[in-house]
């Protein structure tokens, strides 16, 4: 097996047809896991959708260096494939960077791959709500919100179009992991600035 940087478009079939979210996130870097010449897994990184998230990890000083590992998807997910892909892709990313990623509790994930690649565990994400529309519960909350991207009051636009079918639903909390990329000095600065409490890995 080997890992190579790929064009984001080559990751789309994995993200749309295999990954449970079924949507394309912001992608700045994409990496593929190859078995000979066959693409068997993808890992993508991009700008977090939330500006408060970028500030919330290590403060305003380092907000521009925060990226999110936002998709990890493999055809068969055989033993060690995921950790090999993540570990190799982290080494290939430009530095310095602060990488954040989440393990979705609602899908039974606790972040084993992040534990295997020595991410720092920073507890559960904050309690939030998602936008939902009756009959479209299979869609991600951000996908629903994207329908009215650019409109000043999106929530009101949603209510005007969908009426009582539009509602807010508690978002499942996720396990939050952080990884620092850079020199020893840069990593030390990040660690000292980390605003989240470091906790033991969940089991």
Compare 165 and 91 and report the one with higher pLDDT: 91
Residue 138: pLDDT band with limits 50, 70, 90: low
Whether residue 145 is contained in a domain is answered as: yes
> Could you tell me if 131 and 119 lie in one domain?
no
> Could you tell me if 106 and 147 lie in one domain?
no
Whether residue 72 is contained in a domain is answered as: yes
Evaluate whether 28 touches 47 at the Cβ level (below 8 Å): yes
pLDDT in tens, 17-53: 887 777 889 999 999 999 999 999 999 999 998 888 8
Evaluate whether 81 touches 87 at the Cβ level (below 8 Å): no
> Could you tell me if 149 and 78 lie in one domain?
no
Whether residue 201 is contained in a domain is answered as: no
Q: Is 200 exposed, middle or buried (0-12, 13-18, 19+ CB in 10 A)?
A: exposed
Check residue 95 and give its pLDDT: 97
Number of independent structural domains in the chain = 2
Quote the domain boundaries for residue 139. Answer: 127-171
> Could you tell me if 184 and 153 lie in one domain?
no
> Could you tell me if 90 and 135 lie in one domain?
no
The tokens describing 200, both together, are: 């033991």
> Could you tell me if 103 and 152 lie in one domain?
no
Rounded mean pLDDT of 66-72?
A: 96
Whether residue 202 is contained in a domain is answered as: no
Evaluate whether 1 touches 33 at the Cβ level (below 8 Å): yes
Residue 72 has pLDDT above 80, yes or no: yes
CA 134 to CA 166: how far, in whole Å?
A: 7
> Could you tell me if 143 and 100 lie in one domain?
no
pLDDT in tens, 160-174: 888 988 888 777 789
> Could you tell me if 30 and 111 lie in one domain?
yes
Evaluate whether 117 touches 84 at the Cβ level (below 8 Å): no
> Could you tell me if 188 and 140 lie in one domain?
no
Q: Is 135 exposed, middle or buried (0-12, 13-18, 19+ CB in 10 A)?
A: exposed
CA 175 to CA 180: how far, in whole Å?
A: 17
> Could you tell me if 99 and 149 lie in one domain?
no
pTM of the predicted protein model: 0.81
């Amino acid at each position: 097996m080997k890992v190579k940087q790929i064009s984001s478009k080559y990751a789309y079939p994995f993200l749309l047809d295999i990954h449970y979210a079924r949507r394309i996130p912001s992608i700045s870097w994409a990496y593929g896991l190859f078995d000979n010449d066959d693409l068997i897994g993808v890992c993508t990184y991009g700008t977090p959708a939330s500006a408060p998230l970028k500030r919330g990890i290590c403060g305003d000083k380092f907000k521009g260096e925060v990226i999110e590992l936002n998709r990890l998807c493999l055809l068969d997910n055989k033993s060690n494939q995921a950790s090999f892909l993540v570990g190799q892709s982290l080494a290939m990313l430009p530095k310095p960077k602060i990488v954040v990623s989440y393990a979705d509790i609602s899908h039974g994930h606790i972040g084993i791959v992040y534990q295997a690649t020595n991410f720092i565990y920073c507890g559960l994400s904050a309690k939030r709500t998602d936008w939902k529309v009756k009959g479209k519960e299979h869609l991600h909350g951000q996908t629903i919100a994207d329908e009215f991207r650019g409109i000043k009051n999106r929530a009101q636009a949603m209510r005007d179009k969908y009426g009582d079918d539009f509602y807010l639903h508690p978002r499942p909390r996720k396990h939050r992991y952080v990884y620092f990329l850079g020199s020893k000095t840069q990593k030390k600065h990040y660690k000292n600035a980390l605003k989240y409490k470091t906790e033991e890995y969940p089991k």
